[in-house]
Amino acid sequence: MDQPARGTPQLRMLNTRRVLSAVRDAGEPTRIAELAEMTALTRPTVAQIVAVLEEHGWLERHEPSVATGRPAARYALLQRRFMVFGADAGAHRAVVEVAGLDGRVRARRERRHDRRLGQEMLDLLGEMLQECLAETGLRAATMVAGTVATPGIVDLRTGRITTRHKLGDWTVEEVVDRLGAGTTDVSVENDANLAALAMRSVPDMPPTFLGLQWGQRLGAGIVQDGQLYRGESGAAGEVGSLLTEDPVTGQVRHLEEVVRVSRLPELGGVPEVSAEELLAAAGRGEQGAVEALRHGVAPLVRVVAPICLALDLRVITISGAIARGGPALPEALRDELGRHGAHDVECVLSPFLEDTVVRGAVGHAAESGWQRVLATAPWRSGGPSDEPGVTDR
């Protein structure tokens, strides 16, 4: 591709974005000389860009902490100007978090509830968001992006969200209108997909894996080569909707109804204990509990194993409150997967536990917000920043 001509507005804009990206990547207040080194731009170019960004209130100056010599000022993104929120509209638990573009949470609200998706849920999320803003002293106008996690299939082409009838009903447009307040770029995404995105950030996570979000509901997110695979209609990973025979009742039911975490003991033939007790006993190595847990996860494995084989997946992540169950669960899943032909599949518990979905929502919002920041960054014509970005050193 031809390099842009010297002095063009496009070049000045690109150089500004490069400096902003370097400030973000640094992760801490950074000197102009360091930014010049990171961007391969001349120091005068960076100095002019930083001056413009500071003038517009995008960067904040951190004065030197020592008075000896002539230490240079350092600069960082003014986080409180660019805030995002993530929300998880779970079946019985709603969570809203307000964070900066660095992903650091500034305020959080959590509510247990019995509301269905729709206006009542939107009102609850809106109230929680306002409480977070009040706690931080921020205005709604500082919200540059937000992401709301929802159960069901989110078709981004039509804005339709398909859920089971008992969960309620809403659309992308309704969520955006209620929570966007006309200023915030609000996205709506499937909860299991967001959980998978959160797990993508875990150290040493491979670029391709299957993420199971498992509790009273069941969903999966598929990450291939570091990218979320949604499918043409957004239905990829909606394994909870599959119909299967309940091994206890013999009835044909949705998979997520069969393998609810609370049913693990019943499926394993020990209905007299709770799921927590079963997982604890299996964790202690009690052979009867280990076998019961293996039988309990078998209906799920019968669906997941063919997916692993078809996509050559070697890692499955498990998120939701079930991740508190300890190592017995991934061991049971791994062993049962092997019995169904999916050998050497590593099963990893989410370190975020039941907050995995909201972690993904905040991360998604932060990335969306950052793209909006780059697209609207202020820049000024004329001067050193007209110089070509790559060759001006």
DSSP string for residues in 298-357:
HHHHHHHHHHHHHHT--EEEEESGGGGG-THHHHHHHHHHHHTT-TT-EEEE-TTGGGHH
Confidence (pLDDT) at 27: 83
Q: Are 223 and 185 in contact (CB under 8 A)?
A: no
Query: How confident is the model over 368-377, as pLDDT tens digits?
Result: 999 988 888 8
Whole-number Å distance between alpha carbons of 221 and 83:
26
> Model confidence over 8-31: pLDDT tens digits?
778 888 999 999 999 998 888 999
Residue 384: inside a domain, yes or no? no
In this structure, is residue 386 part of a structural domain? Answer: no
- 166 located within any domain: yes
Asked if pLDDT for residue 391 goes beyond 50, the answer is no
Asked whether residue 67 carries a pLDDT value surpassing 60, the answer given is no
Residues 284 and 167 in one domain: no
Same domain, 247 and 342: yes
Residues 243 and 315 reside in one and the same domain: yes
Domain with 239 in it: what CATH number?
3.30.420.40
Q: Provide φ and ψ at 189, rounded to 5°.
A: -145, 155
Q: Which long-range contacts (CB under 8 A, 24 or more apart) does 119-123 make?
A: 119/174, 121/89, 121/94, 121/168, 121/170, 122/170, 122/174, 122/175, 122/178, 122/179, 123/178
- Please determine, for residue 72, whether its predicted confidence score (pLDDT) is greater than 90: no
The tokens of 315 are what? 């890692």
On whether both 242 and 327 belong to a single domain, the answer is yes
pLDDT tens figures, 257-302: 999 999 999 999 999 999 999 999 999 999 999 999 999 999 999 9
pTM comes to: 0.88
- The CA–CA distances, whole Å, from 192 to 182, 264, 293, 393 equal 27, 20, 23, 46
The mean pLDDT value for 348-355 works out to 96
pLDDT on residue 339: 94
Spatial CB neighbours of 371, under 8 Å, sequence gap ≥ 6: none
Q: Give percent of the chain with pLDDT exceeding 90.
A: 66
Mean pLDDT for 101-120 is 92
Is residue 158 a part of any domain in this protein?
Answer: yes
CA distance 211 to 321: 14
Q: Output helix, strand, coil percentages for the chain, rounded to the nearest 5.
A: 45, 20, 35
Under the banding of pLDDT at 50, 70 and 90, the label for residue 5 is: very low
- Compute the distance between CA of residue 174 and CA of residue 159 in angstroms, rounded to an integer: 9
Rounded Cα distance, 160 and 118, in Å? 13
pLDDT band at 120 (very low <50, low <70, confident <90, very high): very high
Q: Find the mean pLDDT for residues 76-105.
A: 91
The confidence score (pLDDT) of residue 234 equals 87
Considering the domain architecture, whether residues 216 and 329 belong to the same structural domain is answered as yes
Helix axes 43-55, 32-39, angle to 10 degrees: 120
How many separate helices (H) and strands (E) can be counted in the chain? 12, 17
* Judgement on whether residues 228 and 261 belong to the same structural domain of the protein: yes
Work out the pLDDT band at 387, boundaries 50, 70, 90.
low
3-state class of 242 per DSSP? coil
- Give residue 145's pLDDT: 93
- Report residue 135's pLDDT band, with 50, 70 and 90 as the boundaries: very high
What's residue 9's pLDDT?
Answer: 79
Do 336 and 257 reside in the same domain of the chain?
yes
Task: Please calculate the CA angle 172-174-178 and round it to the nearest 5 degrees.
Answer: 120
Same domain, 208 and 248: yes
Residue 389 pLDDT level (bands cut at 50, 70, 90) = very low
Inside any domain, residue 387: no
Q: Are residues 30 and 158 in the same domain?
A: no
Question: Residues 367, 268: one domain?
Answer: no
Average pLDDT, the chain: 89
Contact between 261 and 321 under an 8 Å Cβ cutoff? The reply is yes
Tell me if 151 is assigned to some domain.
yes
Residue-level pLDDT at 333? 96
Does any domain span residue 364?
yes
What domain range includes position 151?
81-195+355-372
Q: Are residues 146 and 248 in the same domain?
A: no
- The structure tokens listed for 328 are 């017995």
What is the distance between the terminal CA atoms of the chain, rounded to a whole angstrom? 21
Which residues lie across from 214 on neighbouring strands? Answer: 218
The pLDDT of 335-363, averaged and rounded, is 96
Three-class SS state of 217: coil
pLDDT(82) > 50: yes
- Report residue 321's pLDDT band, with 50, 70 and 90 as the boundaries: confident
- Residue 215: what pLDDT? 83
Number of domains the chain is built from: 3
The verdict on residue 63 lying in a domain is yes
**CB–CB of 35/46 below 8 Å?**
yes
Query: pLDDT-derived band of residue 3, with 50, 70 and 90 as boundaries?
Result: very low
Asked whether residue 345 falls in the same domain as residue 361, the answer is: no
Hey, which bits of 131-239 come out as E strands? 143-150, 153-155, 160-162, 185-190, 209-214, 218-224, 227-229
d(CA 76, CA 119): 39
Span 166-224, pLDDT tens digits: 778 899 999 999 998 666 789 999 999 999 999 999 999 999 999 999 987 899 999 99
What is the mean pLDDT of the segment spanning 51-80?
Answer: 81
pLDDT surpasses 80 at 151? yes
